[in-house]
C-alpha cells in the first residue's frame, strides 16, 4: 500500500505536516481528567459563552433555522425508527420501508419529478452523484454556474477528480445570476449544466430559459435548490430540469452546528435505472396485501462493482423520516404559507435596509429568503451584532474575495417584525461607518 501511494514509510505519509505540530511521543505532565458531569457543565458554559440560545440568527448559506413541529421529534425519536438500521429484510422492516416510500413520494410531488431515491448524506453529495450519473451516460462538458454553493463546488471537484476535471467549466455571473450569453456560447459538446436556484446569493435563476438552451444542445440539466422555495417558486420539474437535487435540512431537521443533513435526489423516469442509492417500491404479496420492498439497490454491496452506480450512498433514513413528518404535518397549504412567509420576511428586511440607505449587492434581482448587502466595515459590524445578541449572516469574502465588506443574510418564518426592525437599525448604522 505504501508503494502504491509513493511513500517509503508510514512516517512518510505525514511528511507535509510541520515538525512542530507532530506528537513526539512524550508528555510533559500528566493532566487530570474531568468527571462526566464536570465535562458536561464545562461544555455547556463554553457554548453559552460563545453563542447564547437567545441570539437572533440571520445566517443561512445552505443551513437554515425553521420552526419544527413537536410531532416531528416525537415520531422520529420512537424506538421503532430510532434504533432501526438498514431495511434489508422487508418482512421485518415494513415501517421503515413505508416511511422511506412516503418520503420519495413527497419529494417527487415537491420537485415535480417522476422518481426519487431514498436520500443521500447531504445536498453536495446528491449534486456530485447526479453529475456522475449523467457523465456515465454521455461524455462531454460539465457547465456549472458560479452561483453554486462553494461547498457543493468543492465536493463536485473532488468527485470528478483528475479523470473528469478537464471537462468541468464554471460559468461567470452577471449581477449575481448566470450570464446568459456565456451559457449559449459554451453549450457545444455538453454533457450537463448545473444551476442552483435560488443560488448561493439567494438570487432566483431563470431555469426555464437555461433548460431550453441546454436541451437544444443535447445536454441535461441538474438543478440544485432549497426545497423550502418550492412553496412559491415553480418546481425544477416544471421548469425543464432533468434532475433535481439539494439539501432537505429545511424540512424538519435542526441546524445542529451545520449537520446532520439530508440530500434529496429526484429525476425523470428515464434515469431510474441509473440513479445511485436505493429506491423503495410498493407491491402486493401472494395474498394481495400491500407491502413495501427495496425495488432497486444499485449500491456496490448489493450488486457487482462494475454494475454499481455508487458505493457511498447510504440513505439518511431517520432524517428522511423527519422530512416526511414535517411535510405531512404542515400540509400542502401550510407549506406554501411558510414558504411565502420566508420570502416576505426577507423582502421586508431588504426594503427596510434600502430605506435607511443600505446598499444591496444585487438590487434588481429576485431572491427567496436570502440576499446580500454592503457595510462600511464588516469586522466592526459583526462585533457590534454580537454585542447585541445578533448573528447577522455570513461574510461573503470568506468564499468570494471580490465581495469585501459584504454580508449574505437570511430571514425565515422564525423572525418577528420586531426582530427584523432591530437588525435593520443596527445594519443601517454600520453601513455608513458606525
What is the tens place of the pLDDT at every residue in 271-319?
998 898 889 999 998 899 999 998 888 766 666 667 777 766 677 889 9
Instruction: Please tell me the predicted confidence (pLDDT) of residue 14.
Output: 85
Calpha distance 208→40 (Å, rounded): 52
Q: Say if residue 396 is in the same domain as residue 255.
A: no
Q: Say if residue 240 is in the same domain as residue 186.
A: yes
Number of domains in the chain: 2
- The residue ranges of the chain whose pLDDT is under 50 are none
Domain edge (last residue) among 300, 327, 354: 327
Calpha distance 128→158 (Å, rounded): 9
Domain edge (last residue) among 275, 304, 327: 327
Grid coordinates standing for 60? 443561512
The answer to the question of residue 231 being in a domain is: yes
Q: Say if residue 121 is in the same domain as residue 164.
A: yes
Q: Say if residue 193 is in the same domain as residue 303.
A: yes
- Nearest alpha carbon to residue 199 among 156, 153, 231, 164: 153
The answer to the question of residue 153 being in a domain is: yes
Domain edge (last residue) among 311, 327, 343: 327
The answer to the question of residue 390 being in a domain is: yes
Instruction: Please tell me the predicted confidence (pLDDT) of residue 145.
Output: 97
Instruction: Please tell me the predicted confidence (pLDDT) of residue 13.
Output: 86
Beta strands in 197-247 (DSSP E): 220-224, 243-247
Task: Report whether the peptide linkage leading into residue 216 is cis, meaning its omega lies within 30 degrees of zero.
Answer: no
Q: Where residue 346 sits, what CATH number does that domain have?
A: 3.90.1150.10
> What does the angle CA 33 – CA 37 – CA 38 come to, to the nearest 5 degrees?
50
Listed in sequence order, the residues at least 6 apart from 400 whose beta carbon sits closer than 8 Å to its beta carbon are 150
Domain assignment of residue 415, given as a range = 56-69+332-431
Q: Say if residue 253 is in the same domain as residue 365.
A: no
Instruction: Please tell me the predicted confidence (pLDDT) of residue 6.
Output: 85
The answer to the question of residue 65 being in a domain is: yes
> What does the angle CA 326 – CA 330 – CA 331 come to, to the nearest 5 degrees?
110
Q: Where residue 273 sits, what CATH number does that domain have?
A: 3.40.640.10
Q: Say if residue 360 is in the same domain as residue 223.
A: no
Q: Say if residue 406 is in the same domain as residue 271.
A: no
The answer to the question of residue 46 being in a domain is: no
Q: Say if residue 161 is in the same domain as residue 205.
A: yes
Q: Say if residue 184 is in the same domain as residue 295.
A: yes
Q: How many CA atoms lie within 13 A of 295 on its CB side?
A: 19
177, containing H or E segment: strand 177-178
Task: Report whether the peptide linkage leading into residue 20 is cis, meaning its omega lies within 30 degrees of zero.
Answer: no
Residue 354 burial by Cβ neighbours in a 10 Å radius (0-12, 13-18, 19+)? middle
Grid coordinates standing for 3? 508503494
Q: Say if residue 261 is in the same domain as residue 315.
A: yes
Instruction: Please tell me the predicted confidence (pLDDT) of residue 210.
Output: 96
The answer to the question of residue 20 being in a domain is: no
pLDDT digits (tens, 9 = 90+) for 111-142: 999 999 999 999 999 999 999 999 988 999 99
The answer to the question of residue 357 being in a domain is: yes
Q: Say if residue 215 is in the same domain as residue 354.
A: no
The answer to the question of residue 1 being in a domain is: no
Q: Say if residue 276 is in the same domain as residue 235.
A: yes
Amino acid at each position: 500500500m505504501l508503494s502504491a501511494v509513493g511513500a517509503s514509510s508510514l512516517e512518510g505519509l505525514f511528511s507535509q505536516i510541520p515538525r512542530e505540530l507532530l506528537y513526539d511521543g512524550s508528555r510533559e505532565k500528566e493532566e487530570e481528567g474531568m468527571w462526566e458531569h464536570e465535562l458536561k457543565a464545562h461544555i455547556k458554559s463554553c457554548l453559552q459563552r460563545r453563542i447564547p440560545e437567545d441570539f437572533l440568527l440571520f445566517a443561512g448559506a445552505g443551513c437554515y433555522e425553521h420552526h419544527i413541529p413537536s410531532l416531528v421529534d416525537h415520531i422520529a425519536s420512537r424506538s421503532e425508527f430510532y434504533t432501526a438500521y438498514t431495511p434489508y429484510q422487508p418482512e421485518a422492516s415494513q415501517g421503515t420501508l413505508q416511511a422511506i416510500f412516503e418520503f420519495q413520494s413527497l419529494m417527487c410531488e415537491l420537485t415535480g419529478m417522476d422518481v426519487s431515491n431514498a436520500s443521500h448524506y447531504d445536498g453536495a453529495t446528491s449534486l456530485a452523484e447526479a453529475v456522475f450519473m449523467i457523465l456515465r451516460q454521455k461524455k462531454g462538458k460539465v457547465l456549472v454556474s458560479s452561483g453554486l454553493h462553494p461547498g457543493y463546488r468543492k465536493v463536485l471537484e473532488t468527485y470528478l477528480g483528475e479523470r473528469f476535471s478537464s471537462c468541468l467549466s464554471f460559468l461567470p455571473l452577471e449581477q449575481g445570476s448566470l450570464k446568459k450569453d456565456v451559457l449559449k456560447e459554451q453549450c457545444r459538446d455538453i454533457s450537463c449544466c448545473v444551476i442552483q436556484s435560488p443560488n448561493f446569493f439567494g438570487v432566483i435563476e431563470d431555469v426555464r430559459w437555461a433548460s431550453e438552451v441546454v436541451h437544444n444542445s443535447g445536454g441535461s440539466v441538474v438543478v440544485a435548490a432549497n426545497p423550502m422555495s418550492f412553496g412559491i417558486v415553480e418546481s425544477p420539474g416544471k421548469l425543464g430540469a432533468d434532475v433535481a437535487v439539494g439539501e432537505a435540512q429545511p424540512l424538519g431537521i435542526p441546524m445542529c452546528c451545520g449537520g446532520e443533513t439530508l440530500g434529496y435526489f429526484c429525476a425523470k423516469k428515464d434515469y431510474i435505472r441509473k440513479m445511485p442509492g436505493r429506491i423503495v417500491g410498493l407491491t402486493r404479496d401472494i395474498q394481495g396485501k400491500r407491502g413495501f420492498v427495496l425495488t432497486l439497490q444499485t449500491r456496490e454491496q448489493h450488486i457487482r462493482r462494475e454494475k454499481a452506480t455508487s458505493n457511498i450512498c447510504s440513505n439518511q433514513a431517520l432524517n428522511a423520516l423527519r422530512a416526511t413528518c414535517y411535510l405531512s404535518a404542515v400540509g400542502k397549504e401550510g407549506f406554501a404559507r411558510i414558504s411565502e412567509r420566508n420570502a416576505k420576511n426577507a423582502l421586508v428586511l431588504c426594503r427596510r435596509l434600502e430605506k435607511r440607505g443600505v446598499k444591496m449587492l444585487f438590487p434588481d434581482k429576485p431572491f427567496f429568503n436570502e440576499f446580500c448587502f454592503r457595510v462600511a466595515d464588516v469586522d466592526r459590524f459583526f462585533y457590534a451584532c454580537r454585542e447585541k445578541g445578533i448573528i447577522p449572516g455570513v461574510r461573503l469574502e470568506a468564499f468570494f474575495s471580490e465581495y469585501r465588506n459584504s454580508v449574505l443574510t437570511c430571514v425565515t418564518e422564525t423572525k418577528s417584525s420586531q426582530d427584523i426592525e432591530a437588525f435593520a437599525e443596527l445594519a443601517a448604522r454600520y453601513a455608513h461607518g458606525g
